[in-house]
Structure 1
Amino acid sequence: MSYGACAVVGSGGTLRNAHHGREIDAHDAVIRFNLAPTGGEWLEAVGSRSTFRLFNGQSRSRHTLVRANTSHELLYCPFDKWLGKCILSAVSFRTSTTSTRVGVGASRPLPWLMVNPVLIWQAAQLQHAHGGRHVRMVSTGLLGVVLALAMCETVSLYGFGNQSAAAALATGVSASTCGHYWECSRNQSRYFGGKAGYHDWKAQWRVVQHFVDAGAVRFVGNSL
């Protein structure tokens, strides 16, 4: 598969009051993640089109909670050095046939496609090369950026947070920035402060910034 212009739409809280919806939907392909909502009240902010939606192991069992309007749904293979585990994880999950939200999206089969484990491994190696800790898993967000670089002529990023959020918190600038544009259970700066959980967000940011500096991808407006 190959595309011209691609939009990779992150879940950062700065998209909460954005007006990128029409611009995002105008791309040849749109990549989104996990359970990030589209359309409806979020139409103006993030649009409604989805060409690919990447799921991690935690969110894939709840994939029917999002609109059934994607062309493909990709199964995010858990980062593991054993290829067999990745394959077993993929084949154990059946194709979705309906949406649990009546009237939200058309009921139709949604095939699961497994992301190539080699691509995931390469993304992890790239993160490690930028100071990432080996025990941290690659996020679906970084994987989506790498996937877009592999199949798109141009890549635009929306809603990807950065380390400036943590620094700005001290001045109150980002104190009200939600972790996700659709919910505010935690502040975005928490992703860059203290323990990072499963992911190394600081290393991920260094990788993304490397792509930007190299001219491979571009950030759009105030969507950081």
Structure 2
Amino acid sequence: DTIKELFEIIPGDGEQLLERDASQCRRCAVVGNSGNLRQSQYGQDIDAHDFVLRMNRAPTAGFESDVGSKTTHHLVYPESFRDLAENVSMIVIPFKTLDLRWIVSALTTGTINFTYVPVPRKIKVKRDKILVYHPVFIKYVYDHWLQNHGRYPSTGILSVIFALHLCDEVDVYGFGADSNGNWHHYWENNASGGAFRKTMVHDGDFESNITLTLASIDKIRFFKGR
């Protein structure tokens, strides 16, 4: 019933992701949120890609030289939503049925303003710019790529595997710890930024090994930052 209601509100047509000239190479940048992006000077290289995927609360303003300014797709869940430019596609990762109900509510009645934390009651996103990451694909990533490590996949690894299925070339930036071993975001100094390593909600070390292995066999290019 939730799915039916959802696709009465949004078009549910992701075919524009697949439509392209077969003679062209689609280059995609997956930009994580690691503090290793600071002083990396990756911005111009990131913006040169056809698709630039970002995630959660990641800002670009004030960090353009390191992370770029271009965004084509932004992956979020309700609790990590941030306002996006009109030309950016929002890809919602539904970890629970309530996340799908939130999309409907946020575009119509605005009745849902709390899940396990406060969430936006209303969002300003064009309906044809909303895509939904299929729950079956999340399970595929968890079972086949993560081999059931952690409680569920992080937004980061879901973005990388999404890009692998969508793009001819995948360049990955802003993943993992910085050169001092700190897990934190490039836009803040957060002492608890790596707390998930203790809670095991996500198995960051296992996910990191996946990206490094993909890089070692030339399936992606991995940019380590600083």
Regarding TM over 0.5, the answer is: yes
Among 126, 139, 142, the alignment partner of 2:154 is 139
Q: Percent same amino acid among aligned pairs? A: 31
Any idea what SS the aligned residue of 1:93 has? Answer: helix
**Within 1, Cα distance between the matches of 2:203 and 2:191?**
17
- How far the C-alpha of 1:203 sits from its partner, in A, is 1.7
Q: Give the corresponding residue for 1:121.
A: 139
Q: Is structure 2 residue 74 aligned with structure 1 residue 53?
A: yes
Any idea what SS the aligned residue of 1:181 has? Answer: coil
Any idea what SS the aligned residue of 2:180 has? Answer: coil
The 5 A counterparts of 1:2-17 are: 2=18, 4-17=26-39
The 5 A counterparts of 1:102-113 are: 109=126, 111-113=129-131
Name the CA shift for 1:160/1:114 in 2 (closer, same or farther; >3 Å): same
- How far the C-alpha of 1:92 sits from its partner, in A, is 3.7
Q: Is structure 2 residue 89 aligned with structure 1 residue 72?
A: yes
Q: Is structure 2 residue 164 aligned with structure 1 residue 149?
A: yes
**Within 1, Cα distance between the matches of 2:164 and 2:138?**
13
Deviation track 1:144-182 (CA, whole Å, cap 9, x = no partner) reads 0011001100000001005xx6xxxxxxx616x460000
User: Hey, which of these two has a bigger chunk of strand by percent?
Assistant: 1
**Within 2, Cα distance between the matches of 1:16 and 1:187?**
18
Q: TM-score, normalised by structure 2?
A: 0.72
The 5 A counterparts of 1:118-197 are: 118-129=136-147, 132-133=149-150, 136-161=151-176, 174=180, 177=182, 179-186=184-191, 190=194, 195-197=198-200
Question: Relative to structure 2, which stretch is displaced further, 46-55 or 120-129?
Answer: 120-129
Q: Give the corresponding residue for 2:46.
A: 24
Name the CA shift for 1:197/1:158 in 2 (closer, same or farther; >3 Å): same
Is the Cα–Cα contact under 8 Å of residues 146 and 153 in structure 2 kept in the other structure?
A: no
Q: Give the corresponding residue for 2:10.
A: none
- How far the C-alpha of 1:216 sits from its partner, in A, is 1.0
Name the CA shift for 1:108/1:198 in 2 (closer, same or farther; >3 Å): closer
Question: Relative to structure 2, which stretch is displaced further, 137-146 or 69-78?
Answer: 69-78
Is the Cα–Cα contact under 8 Å of residues 20 and 44 in structure 1 kept in the other structure?
A: yes
**Count of equivalent residues:** 188
Gaps in structure 1 of 5+ consecutive residues: 96-106, 166-172
Amino acid paired to 1:73: M
Name the CA shift for 1:13/1:51 in 2 (closer, same or farther; >3 Å): same
Amino acid paired to 1:150: H
Name the CA shift for 1:211/1:89 in 2 (closer, same or farther; >3 Å): farther
Name the CA shift for 1:70/1:6 in 2 (closer, same or farther; >3 Å): same
Q: TM-score, normalised by structure 1?
A: 0.73
Q: CA RMSD in A?
A: 2.7
- How far the C-alpha of 1:127 sits from its partner, in A, is 3.9
- How far the C-alpha of 1:223 sits from its partner, in A, is 2.1
